[in-house]
Homo-oligomer: A and B are copies of this chain.
């Protein structure tokens, strides 16, 4: 059995060796101009002093108080989580970790948690970057993390309708391997793909790396099955579309474990694409590239990939010379030709001052691998004394340019002149786009939390003030709750709170997420 790193990204057997880490750190420090080339060692699990469990375990339930399981589930994988884990601090370790193998066991765990007055924290891959799965008890006597990871199977495939019934705890690679046996794929690739799960994606309204089309998991869901805190089954009908009242699925999508525990879903799948065509285009300015992206999506084109990165990010990721913003374009389909569309998109780039290079293996060819490796790099940065954080949002086109300036400015003001701030557009819509900011700055040991909080609040305030959403696909969790409470309509908050009270009368599910803990 492969074991996850108790503090950082990924599996222990896939993590870089100490020698590889030193080499990477030296390279990163030279590239950035700051950070220690001698990475600090993480505190080994044996040396970690976990808080004593507040509950005794009953027999006959799939519960564990193993230190590795408790440390692993203490929190997600935000920058601050990784800093804490690296230093051996796990203040929010759950009192137990439950790993039910079926819904009966899941229900039994919920009953036990109610009897023992424990908060229940549903968890998938544990990759939250917003404090979404901290095992906090709220007003309860303790907290149990309810891991869905034992529910990892593709249960049924309907090849005619191109849909599959998949358990909530299946990770990206696990469900892709099983779908692959049927010649199918979900083609949903968030940056956390390696570790995160279908249930987690649904609970957080995750977005994949496709720039347009059905990129939010919301659009891939045909129906959802969940168990409420009181053990009731919530199962929507499997349908391609419906107009029967407000959508039940859309209430669970984004509920972040506060309304019910998602156990499985029917999702829309497809064959591997047979047609793929790509190109890249360099633009003198980011705003010029953004104008081209807008022209492409407003023209009716729907590229699978349409990722615009600014000149600084292009240089940092070795994808450019630092002088131009870079647009990576890709079209694909399961049969219909895409050449006419690619040609049209390239023509629009040229009309907007872009310098086009055709072919998938151009300057943008390596972006996907780098994208999926980024979480490992972040672990290295933490060990080097480098603060590394990302913010993301979405905003209408009319506001985009000032939005980017405003958020970059607020981030710089919060972290000082040494900070590197880069921006990319990850998703494009006819009416707007999703800007994504990466922040890298030197930080002294012990200052991480204060510095992180300063930039988080400054950037979040700027995002709201400039007309964006507090999150396009990272979720609300606990970190974004202040801004989320300002963003959502007050009557909707009242409706959601009432729904929560009806479904979870003990206020047991994930206290402190979306709502103030009661």
A interface residues with partner B (beta carbon < 8 Å): 158, 160-163, 204-207, 216, 222, 226, 228, 232-248, 250-256, 259-260, 268, 270, 294, 298-301, 333-337, 339-341, 344, 394-398, 427, 429-434, 467-476, 480, 484, 487-492, 494-499, 501-503, 514
Contact among B248, B396, B491 with A238 in the assembled complex (CB-CB below 8 Å): B396
Contact between chains at B240 and A492 (CB < 8 Å): no
Contact among B216, B243, B431 with A475 in the assembled complex (CB-CB below 8 Å): B243
Chain B residues with CB under 8 A of A301: 336
Contact between chains at B469 and A237 (CB < 8 Å): yes
Question: In chain B, what residue has the closest Cβ to A429?
Answer: B240
Given contacts A204-B243, A496-B245, contact A467 B238 (CB under 8 A): yes
Contact between chains at A244 and B487 (CB < 8 Å): yes
Contact between chains at A476 and B160 (CB < 8 Å): no
Chain B residues with CB under 8 A of A294: 160
A238–B301 Cα distance when bound, in Å, is 23
For this chain, the copies found in one complex come to 2
Chain B residues with CB under 8 A of A240: 394-396, 429-434
Contact between chains at B260 and A491 (CB < 8 Å): yes
A487–B270 Cα distance when bound, in Å, is 27
Chain B residues with CB under 8 A of A244: 254, 469-471, 475-476, 480, 484, 487-488
Contact between chains at A243 and B206 (CB < 8 Å): yes
Contact between chains at B432 and A239 (CB < 8 Å): yes
A514–B294 Cα distance when bound, in Å, is 40
Contact between chains at B205 and A243 (CB < 8 Å): yes
Chain B residues with CB under 8 A of A476: 244-245
Most buried by B among A163, A340, A499: A499
Contact between chains at B334 and A161 (CB < 8 Å): no
Given contacts A161-B398, A232-B491, A254-B244, contact A239 B468 (CB under 8 A): yes
A496–B475 Cα distance when bound, in Å, is 23
Contact among B254, B491, B514 with A247 in the assembled complex (CB-CB below 8 Å): B254
Contact among B204, B300, B397, B480 with A335 in the assembled complex (CB-CB below 8 Å): B300
Contact between chains at A239 and B298 (CB < 8 Å): no
Chain B residues with CB under 8 A of A467: 237-238
Contact between chains at A488 and B432 (CB < 8 Å): no
Most buried by B among A236, A488, A491: A491
A260–B491 Cα distance when bound, in Å, is 9
Question: In chain B, what residue has the closest Cβ to A241?
Answer: B394
Contact between chains at A246 and B254 (CB < 8 Å): yes
Chain B residues with CB under 8 A of A430: 162, 240, 268, 270
Chain B residues with CB under 8 A of A233: 489-491
Contact between chains at B251 and A495 (CB < 8 Å): yes
Contact among B337, B489, B498 with A498 in the assembled complex (CB-CB below 8 Å): B498
Q: Can you list 13 A-B contacts (CB < 8 A)?
A: A160-B398, A226-B491, A234-B490, A234-B491, A240-B430, A240-B431, A241-B434, A242-B394, A244-B254, A244-B488, A335-B344, A339-B340, A496-B499
